[in-house]
Amino acid sequence: MTNDQNHIQDEYFHDENLDKKLMDHDYDGIKELDNPAPAWIMAIFYITIFFSVMYGAYYFWFSQGPTQDQEYLAEVNEYNTKFGQKENNAPEALTILTNEADIAEGMAFYQANCVACHGANGEGGVGSNLTDANWIHGCDIASVAKIVKDGGPNGMMSYKQHGDKKIQQVASYVLTKLKGTNKPGKELQGEACQ
């Protein structure tokens, strides 16, 4: 051991009251006390073991708890009870909405979701041209609403989750404001449609 003046000497601070149970252990100046593990931590340990045994019993030995597949089915049933089936708004029964508020909503939806593929003015791009006379999946309100709702094999994605009302609004917007404006863009696709 060098006797450099600046050398830090590690001190052991003895405390009469706290160190009554000092053991004869000494590792590089580290001592140990013979205290038991605190009762509360041992209690937590035993409670968690008990919990785990009960958990296993509940799900596996007595098969009381649901499997995750059963849990999902229960969740779907609960959903169906709360909201009913979503298919009641049959596309065949749809009409083109014409009032300004609906068209404005439809336009907002178009701006948020459709422009990336169909262009800002419906001229097309990744998606088809919505302003010309040819339509791939039909040009009546029911057909347009259906393709928006369910998507299609050319890459049209499904917008089912946005709800039937929004879908009807955007289909109405496309058919009243974009169709027939004949913007130069994507070439003709599909069949001529009035």
Is 20 among the residues that bind another protein (CB under 8 A)?
Answer: no
CB of 124 to another protein, least distance (A): 9
Q: Which of 56, 90, 104, 184 binds another protein (CB under 8 A)?
A: 56
Is 84 among the residues that bind another protein (CB under 8 A)?
Answer: yes
Nearer to another protein, 76 or 180 (CB): 76
Cα–Cα distance, 160 to 174 (Å, whole number): 17
Kindly state the number of chain residues that form the binding site for another protein, as judged by CB under 8 A.
73
Sequence-distant (≥ 6) Cβ neighbours of residue 58 within 8 angstroms:
64, 65
Q: Which of 132, 136, 134, 130 is nearest to 171 (CA)?
A: 130
Is 158 among the residues that bind another protein (CB under 8 A)?
Answer: yes
CB of 174 to another protein, least distance (A): 19
Q: CB-side exposure of 161: number of CA atoms within 13 Å?
A: 3
Is 90 among the residues that bind another protein (CB under 8 A)?
Answer: no
Is 64 among the residues that bind another protein (CB under 8 A)?
Answer: no
The amino acid at 9: Q
Is 182 among the residues that bind another protein (CB under 8 A)?
Answer: no
Cα–Cα distance, 94 to 97 (Å, whole number): 9
Sequence-distant (≥ 6) Cβ neighbours of residue 134 within 8 angstroms:
188, 189, 190, 191, 192, 193
* 2, two tokens: 């060098």
Q: Which of 15, 87, 92, 100 binds another protein (CB under 8 A)?
A: 15
> What is the total residue count of the chain?
194
Stretch that binds another protein, among 38-46, 92-100, 101-109, 133-141 (CB under 8 A): 38-46
Binders of another protein in range 119-138 (CB under 8 A): 125-126
Stretch that binds another protein, among 63-71, 98-106, 134-142, 175-183 (CB under 8 A): 63-71
Q: Which of 137, 162, 177, 183 binds another protein (CB under 8 A)?
A: 162
Q: Which of 42, 90, 188, 192 binds another protein (CB under 8 A)?
A: 42
Rg over CA atoms, the chain: 36
Return the SS3 of 120.
Answer: coil
